[in-house]
Structure 1
């Protein structure tokens, strides 16, 4: 069982289509047992056919043991997302959307060991949609959340490594972990920053391994060759699960450990 002074959290990288959902179903229960995970967070913005998320797909992922779903720039790809995300606090859209956008960018949840953890979802601006400043918006939200908990996990959905690193050092010591998502390629730079925040530039993808960031190679290559629009499909191949395990000191909210996880399912 987890000790009272430690919180163990699993964060699963961007789930892509049915192959991603299937590998979560097959592997997640074992990971929860192995790491004594008290909370499971996953990025689900590509979980429905590779683009967006639906209520049905979200409920499927919750049934596999995921507690909170984060998203990113593909959050609105399915039209039916708008009404259900407004009423489902377990699904986050980026915090830095303008006021009036449905849904929420942060939430608090109780772990299995009755610890309160805050989860924040925020979108970068380099090579992405230009939203409100992720740095200032997130800092303000952290100050609000600190009234309830010092255990704060951030999904920073961004393209540029420089922006992710700058964001991480800006908030180092103020949050428990900053987990990068979006590029679908797991980076080998997981570490505890100088002031105690766990960090990885990109947690990676959970989906078809023999693909180009989750999509069939032929269409993606053809688009690069011709520069013409193509419909991308998620291939039904063997899958990979990418994640991190984060161990946090519950008294000060700072990270003790971050470990990369990469599991191939044949």
Structure 2
């Protein structure tokens, strides 16, 4: 199939969205947490599918995806055979980590929940950089560059993605429109579940590079999904990490995308 035809099919598959609107009323939510950052929200429960943003300039800037990359990395690992299913056990080698959740055997579900770097480092080694680069280009994921001098390329390397690009990726995953087996896309979404109630499901992943942090995902409602991608500075490092979810949940509650806090 000609490349031009493939590009046209790709763009036609993307959901139609209204022009982006800046939300000045979300600035106090960031100020209340003494945080600098951005959030992009697309509410597909509404026919117009509005796109709202706080700090649009930052929403266009690319940052290391950090552990939000575990979402596409899971797809890559499943496709490459580095993991077979959610039941495969990855034995802990006994090396102590600062986070207790990493000091145990892992499955795909626990590795996503605990953001277990050593499991995904194993996936990266099994996949290799040339194949990782090809996967990233197929996904059109940020700058699609897994180069790294030292460390993990999704944290320490050149790979970078913007909040707006995170949203586009998540929308395609939600619709099983990524260039991967549909069963693998469904499994990835299953292990992303953070919270669920009778009427809604929250699927999301945090990320932290050290200087800044992410929370990206969506809330599924019977009327449709609400996608979000938040990125904030974390000058106080660990002490700032709770702000990712606090800000996002406050923003989502402001548009009734999450129920009010108890």
Indicate the TM-score class for this superposition, using the shorter chain for normalisation.
under 0.3
Report the structure, 1 or 2, having the larger helix content. 2
**Structure having greater relative contact order (Cα 8 Å, sep ≥ 6):** 2
TM-score by length of 2: 0.28
Report the structure, 1 or 2, having the larger strand content. 1
